[in-house]
Structure 1
Amino acid sequence: MATRAIVVGGTSGIGYAMACRVAAEAGSAKVIISGRTKPEKIPYPNMEFRPLDATSMSQIKKYTDTFKSVPGRELDLLIMSQGIMSMAGRTEVEGIDRKMALHYYGKQLLIRELLPTLKPDGKVIIVYDGKTGNPNKLLWDDLDLKRHYGLSTAANNCMVMNDIMIQHYASSQQQDTKEGKRRHFVHAYPGGVDTGLLRNLPWYLQALARTLAPLITVTPDTCAQYLLNGVSERAAAAADAEGGGKYWSNIDNKGRLIKDKAVWDEEQMNAVANNTWNLVDEAIKSG
């Protein structure tokens, strides 16, 4: 059976490596890679590039509407690895901080809009940081950080809100599992990976980063292998569980299950989801 995948952030780094692995597994696979810049090399004929500025909610909505406009399109995999390493302060696009748009809001909009096309056993993979977010530091009264913005605060809010939302999607699906819907939602921690994001560091840190990278990082291809294998294992374990499984997982940089993650109640999940959609839908209108 052919695998159809969309990989946003798939033009470089981890996303590109994951896209290449999916494309290489079978010639019948169809892999769409998306980002702002077309990669110099698209190594497999079953890969295609579609441009997307993933900082813009309005552009994401147009992108997903275009994909859904073709009847019968179904996805097996939705992978989102878009991100940026920057020391800049709050920089808004359509009223949303650019870093938070890439690391959280855009990912959630892609899931919401493409979920109707996802096969009953499809998989959604957020590559950001499913390991180190601190739930106790989530700013519930300022989730989008209009008033309390800081680099570490923005990172933590994005980590924790991604954690909450994968549980939200899995919980929303529970009523459909008896009818065969067993989509699995994953928030992955890639660990240290030698990617082009290092180029976004200040010049005075780049030399140090290049020196240390071989000692503390793995290649994007190695990371892709660990994460894809881990996702497949978690989805299989959930499907095989007696009485149905837990259809969300946080995995580490070796693809192993992170077992100590906070479990959120329905009120908390709905609070984050409602705040997210209010902000995202306003951004779409303004775009």
Structure 2
Amino acid sequence: MSSSSITKPSAADDTLRAQIFQRLHPRVYLERFIAEKFRPDGRTFDEWRKVSVNVGSISTADGSALVRMGDTTVVCGVKAEIAEPDLDLPEQGFLVPNLDLPAICSPKFKPGPPTEEAQVLSDRLNEALVTSGVLSLSSLCIHPGKAVWTLYVDSTCINYDGNAFDATLLAMLAALRNTTLPKATYDEETGRTTCSRKNRSPLQLERHFASTSFGVLEMSHVLSDPTAFEEPLMDVALTVIVDDRGQLISTNESGTGISQETLLQCISRAKERASQLQRLL
């Protein structure tokens, strides 16, 4: 008498099925988790990923920082160069932030020139740093009309898992705090600027702040710190920037409009998160 046995699916089989379903039906996959009040990575809606900040990791830069936000990792280096100021702003230096999203950080990015996403994020980072007044550009003046400092704040994402803006802004602020400039002297007779190798001084940052990003699904579910899987499925992407005193600096919203109640809820969460991130700096 022959007998037959039924093999139960293994955990590996279940995981493979879940991965296939996630690829074929990402929105439904996410909605099933949302219905259970959890997210695919196990977090609750208002839970943030762990963040770590390390400064001074690039010895050849004038300032540097490495930030890990979950699995998103960004390294930032600040390089100072001497330049001539603009004619209409003779006493102001330059702050030039930039973000690179290379192909090595995620399969979604291809080799070649900067992607549109990287350019948009760089523009937003520039707006956040320059318009917020984090650093007085007049403090970068060496000699009015002749010589000023240009600070190139270059960031590279070495692993991408969503929310690159928050991670990059945090890395840039940490790198600027870590930056020191050599004492520079302009000689009017020779028209040259000389720098001391021994005497260096830190930047005087005038404002401390942090950004917090959210994704809104179906106008009712607000997800803090969205991952790379969650980001493209959101109906609304919202970023809130507040300073260390809890004052609102700016909001940036893309997608269909959200209610005033949801916006105020996000601002309240952002203030709590900003105080947590400031302690890391």
**Is this a same-fold pair by TM over 0.5?**
no
The structure richer in helix per residue is 1
TM-score under structure 1 normalisation? 0.28
TM-score under structure 2 normalisation? 0.29
Structure of greater relative contact order (alpha carbons < 8 Å, 6+ residues apart): 1
The structure richer in strand per residue is 2
Q: For the pair shown, which has the larger CA radius of gyration, 1 or 2?
A: 2
